[in-house]
Structure 1
Amino acid sequence: MLTFRKAAVLAVFVLTAVYLLHSSHSTAASRATLADNQKLDFETSKQQPKTTGVPPSSEKPLRPYPPPRQASNTQDLAQQPLTEVVTTSLRDRLQYQFPYDRAGKFPAYIWQTWKYTPASGDFGETFRPAEASWSELHPGFVHEVVTDDAAVYLLKHLYASVPEVLEAYTSLPLPIMKADFFRYLILLARGGIYTDIDTTAIRSTTDWIPSEVPRSTFGLVIGIEADADREDWRDWYSRRIQFCQWTIQAKPGHPVLRDVVANITEETLRMKKKGILMEKKMDKSIVEFTGPALWTDTIFTYLNDPTYFKMEGSKNVTWETFTGMEVAKKVGDVVVLPITSFSPGVQQMGAKEPDDPMAFVKHDFEGTWKPESERVKPVIE
């Protein structure tokens, strides 16, 4: 006789048997599916072209290292090459991160640096008219006055993928060196106009270059700071022709900016490793390290580099190419403005007055990076 107890035991036995049979079938199906997927992954991976991680030598380089491959297991992941980023040169990585498009537009940015923003009560009345002149003559531009503290965070955002550049910037021992470095860094990454806080805009940048010169044919606009026409010029300037860096207009990624950023980064880290990255121990002057001497040398090196363009007759570009200029001159993709354009009113070296048609920016030579007691006007004879 089938009692209630026996019926309950029998029911449990039947349910257990059904569950075991179903689990066995599901496991076998899962294994078959997994095997098929692994086979598909392997066949797909064989069809993928191999990449070397070396960027081609072209005007618009590709990524200097390939994106990580999706590994099918831990062993494959461990075998992926990890040295490509390290072995790619700093200049190549900067070129990838900030590509240069000569035919592109000049970004509508105006960059300045100061201890305070114009919204701060501590900004001071001295620089307000000068700062305002840039916004007044460029109403459609984004005008940013970046404080020293904000500059660090901005550069961390822009150069996160190039950590040695950030290390170099934060390691520089003097404010003037960081101010020099910042102008190159912001123009390389974003382009536009950098101008010192003690400069006054006389004419809009849209009037700097004659309209018949296509904007798609140049990517850097610079001015002459010194056209030293005296025998003792070495006592006053570092170069016979010296380009100013208090006002620069550029398209992002320009090779001159890339080279000057790489140079400062490499020299900073070299001196840091050597233990001489201190004000009185450096083996370079500020002018040669981050200032107008380095800027001038980098420009001349670029203008004579056949990798970018060749001059007619293979004649080298020297100071003689620019001495005595009274109008703009285009060399390759660089437009050089005469001394009057960014240094009107200095009453020497052929510079004309601020009301001259070629006067675009007036520099007050405040030496804003110096203590107030050390700021002096330039000597004029």
Structure 2
Amino acid sequence: MSNSASAIKAAEAALDKGDYNLCIKIIDPLLLSFSTATPIGSQLRLLKVTAYMGLGDEQNAINICQTLINSKDANVRQQSKQLLSILDAPSLPRPSNWSVEIPKIEMESSLKSSSRKPKRKKKKVNHPPTGPTKNLDFGFSIITLLIISLLAFLLSGCVDISTNLSITSSNRLKISLDIDSISSKSIPWQIEFADNLAKENSVFKIQAEGNKQHFESPTIRFEEANELLQQITSVVSNTSGFNINKPELTTTNRNWIIGANQNLKIYFDLRELPKVPGLKLNLIIHGIQNKNNFKTQPLEPIFKKGLTSLPLKIGQINQLEVSYWKWNQIAVGLILIISLILISLFLQTFRLNMGFGFPELPP
């Protein structure tokens, strides 16, 4: 392990123990070697902000956060904005009626007067026996664990998740993922999901703006799209703690030279996903607008502005089947050129047969 890595570990250990001065003392020499633009430099400055907040030095913490707002890393920018919103929050004055002043009581006179009073004997009250203490049933422990897990998920906030499929050719498409928080700020689940997806070395490129996240893939084949959808589902399961079955995407392609007949089937098994208030899942398809091309269960698709939106129903199996035709532009162009040449030859032959020869010079 390098000296910088060991120093960062020591600073984190000091921060965990509450020794904020030692944490700042370890970090300060490292800041000379790592600028704000480097990932290690951003991590060190975030640790220093936490230490300043522990010491109550809010002004120095605000100054460091303001330098991290312009970082190239979207996660660093998001964390610095969240810390600034906490540091800039106004401190509300405490009303006087919230506290009770206890007057001074002269204890000597009260003790003397109490010592003169005869002591009364306390009557013993015999309570009925309650029996041996019983352990909690196993079912009670399971119900309590489920309630705590559900509350933890609900308190983290609810989101609107939309998966977009843009079909670019007969065997290629783009996948994009939009995650929008109902609250005005990004919830911890969104940040953790982006971090876990980055650890999987995914082809997605992330764009974060406020409480919205946009993940977009390059143009890929249908086989690669199936693997990418399963990767997304696996990361969502690990982040949320719910066991979600992986989706299945199957395609059949018939090539007829001038075009291709494509049949796309998608299965989303959401029976294991519990119903969470405020959670919305949607599948959006670009480029296909004919209602007759779609077969869906259990909900009907929504057609608007050139998009086809399919809301997914939690607790059931959602099925989508799309059949469409893609023209081969090169083949169509060649057929059109050959047709024009044949028509031109036919007209020329017909003109000669009618007695109209080629133009000649006068004798």
TM over 0.5: no
Give the number of the structure with larger relative contact order, counting CA–CA contacts within 8 Å between residues 6 or more apart.
Answer: 1
More strand by share: 2
TM-score by length of 1: 0.27
TM-score by length of 2: 0.28
